[in-house]
Amino acid sequence: MKKLLVFLLSCSLLVLMTGCTKEEEQEKDNTTVTDNSTTENTQNNPKEDEVEAENNVMEEASDDDSKVVENTSENDGDINIAYKDGTYEYETVADAEGFKTKGTVTIENGKIAKVDWTIFDTYRDDRPFDETYEEVYEGNDLYMQQSRDDWNGSRGYAEKLIETQDLEEVDAVSGATWTNRKFKTVMSYILFEAKE
């Protein structure tokens, strides 16, 4: 009986190791190396391509400011952000908590002229996150206060973006970091689309 058990465990281990080896070989087959650079041969379906494109836009818009900001003077360090005139909109997908963010930015003469944005709670029939949202947490003083702090802090983000013309200069207000992340996410997408 022990021999049978050892044999079955050995076979199982062998099958698992073979399966892992095949996956590694497939990964190697999907990657080709040319001129010391790695290129993946992907065959994504259109939905995967769309998600990957959105992720790339977000990474480029939020992680690499040099693609959006240009230095206009070698001596004084002034920064000039140039955008294409027009009105740009974006709506994020709902996160795990059910919140999505919609934003609209109007560009005039290459500058951010108007910013509108709202967070919506999809679990509550797209209820907007506004000054009355705290009533959702009635009876929970801590959550009501957090909601109030987030709302109060978020009210200045659009104005700060118009004033500075730089999303990185829109700092989170104490107690309102959640709304700051929502604001920066939707604005990153919009400003990436608006850049020249």
Q: Which domains does the chain have, with CATH numbers?
A: 79-194 (3.90.1010.20)
pLDDT greater than 60 at residue 158: yes
> How far lies 182's CA from each of 17, 118, 137, 168, in Å?
44, 9, 20, 14
Q: Comparing 10 with 32, which gets the higher pLDDT?
A: 10
Place 11 in a pLDDT band, splitting at 50, 70 and 90.
low
Tokens coding 41: 């041969």
pLDDT at 82: 84
User: Which of 194, 171, 172, 185 minimizes the C-alpha distance to 81?
Assistant: 194
Residue 186: count of CB within 10 angstroms of its CB: 23
- Closest CA relative to residue 182, chosen from 144, 145, 153: 153
Three-state secondary structure call for residue 152: helix
| pLDDT beyond 60 at 10 | yes
The pTM of the whole model exceeds 0.75: no
**Helix H or strand E encompassing 56:** helix 46-63
